[in-house]
Each structure stands twice: as C-alpha cells, then as structure tokens.
Amino acid sequence: MKNVFALVTFLFVAYTSSAQLFTKEKVKNNESMDKQSLSWGYYFGVNNFDYKFDYNDNKGDIQTQKTFGFNVGLVGDLRVNDYINFRFEPGLVIASRNLTYPESFFDNFNEEVRDSDLLREVKSTYVYFPLLLRLSTKRHNNFKPFITLGVATSINLSSNEKNPDDNSNGQFRTTSNTLFYDLGFGIDFYLFWFKFTPSIRGVFAINDELIRDNDPNSPWTGNITSMKTRGVFINFTFR
C-alpha cells in the first residue's frame, strides 16, 4: 500500500513541478472535451490483491503473498453536468495470490503434512464490470481532481467452481461470480491532444468467494468462515 500511494504522489508532484498547474496560466487544453454527453476511452494499469479471512476457531492466520497483476479495459462516460458523471469501465483483470497455511490447521490431518499441502496458488482472471459515480471538482487550468464510488460484478474465468476435485487433489476452488464495492480518486490532466487520468481504486468483495471441500473437516476450508477479495488498482486512462 505504501508503494501504491508513493507512486500516485510522485505522479502528482511531477506534473505540478513541470508547468501551469498552480500558476495563473489561462491557456486551457481541450476546453470543450468535458461538454460531450457521451465519450469513450481506454485504460491499462496494475493491481495488487489479497484476501480477508474470517475463521471459526483461532488456529492462526493464513498468510497471503501478494503479487502485481495487470488490468486493461474500456471507458464509457455519461456526463450529467460539470461535476457529476456516470462511468462504465468493463475490463480484464489478471491477478495471482499465494496462500500459506499455518501447520495448526492440520492438527487433525490423518496424513503426513507436506510442504505442498501448506501452499496454495490462486490465479484469478476476472472479467470486471464496474458502474461508477464520479464526483469532480471545478477544473483549474489543466487539471481536475475527482473521486469515484460504485459497485461491480465480475466473472472469474479461473475459479474452478465446477471442478469435482478439491484441495485433497490440489485444487483450490473459488466462486465464479463476485460482487464488489469500488472506491477511488484520481486527477484529470488535460494535455494538448487528449486527457490523461491516473487513478487509484480500492475494491472490496461483498460475498464469500470460497468453495468448500467435500470433507467438512478439510484443513484447507473447514476453519474458514469467509474469504473475500480486497485489492488496489492503479489505472491510467486515455480519452
């Protein structure tokens, strides 16, 4: 998280130090751009996901090793007025998480515990459909800050939900469909030919994503009450 906020801060400072952000410069790029009722664009970026676990019994915590993934998608923007827009940003989100189980989860396991039993790699390929409300400030020269809030649904193409094999055969399963809260902020930079928008967004799953093993006492799923994705997107949008 510190690295994420450091990157956003760097982008902001780099731009402000370069030109007319906080000067009295009156020349505005693309003055009519925000007057369009409907406009389109695209984005790409990176993500960093983990899971929030709740447990039945206190046997320790499952550790999540987070890695950076990739986002890419389209932007459809519906203007309400100078300060309010609705955004639909369908995209593809590729993420990966490694789960390390504490040995205490296997206290009643009838077999010898191997290192491979304590580790599960969870790869996710989400088709992500967020509907966002965007609230902006007044444009100042060639920049305009904003916040976004909304909800999203997703289809996880790597979920293994219908796989009859479970963790006893090395298959960690998650639900195919997940609902999210989506909250974020960013800054529009009006350049000569287009608008460039870096943003940072937090996503928080609403529903439990874990598919339980066939054995209710499974060491991999038996002690988990809920497992919900939470993560951060850093996106760069061009319009």
Residue 18 has a pLDDT of: 45
Residue 222 has a pLDDT of: 93
Residue 27 has a pLDDT of: 66
Average pLDDT per consecutive 10 residues, the chain (239 residues; last block may be shorter): 48 45 60 84 96 93 92 96 95 95 88 89 95 94 94 95 91 95 96 92 96 93 95 95
Residue 16 has a pLDDT of: 46
Residue 19 has a pLDDT of: 44
Q: Which two tokens mark 36?
A: 């369009």
Whether the CA torsion 114, 120, 121, 123 is positive or negative: it is positive
Residue 150 has a pLDDT of: 97
The answer to whether 76 and 53 have CB atoms below 8 angstroms apart is no
User: What is d(CA 180, CA 155) in angstroms, rounded to the nearest whole number?
Assistant: 12
Is the overall model pTM greater than 0.85, yes or no? no
The answer to whether 108 and 217 have CB atoms below 8 angstroms apart is yes
Which residues of 80-194 form beta strands (DSSP E)? 84-88, 91-100, 119-136, 143-156, 177-190
Domain 2-238 -> CATH class: mainly beta
Residue 17 has a pLDDT of: 41
Question: Cβ–Cβ contacts within 10 Å for residue 111, how many?
Answer: 9
Residue identified by tokens 């320790």 is 60
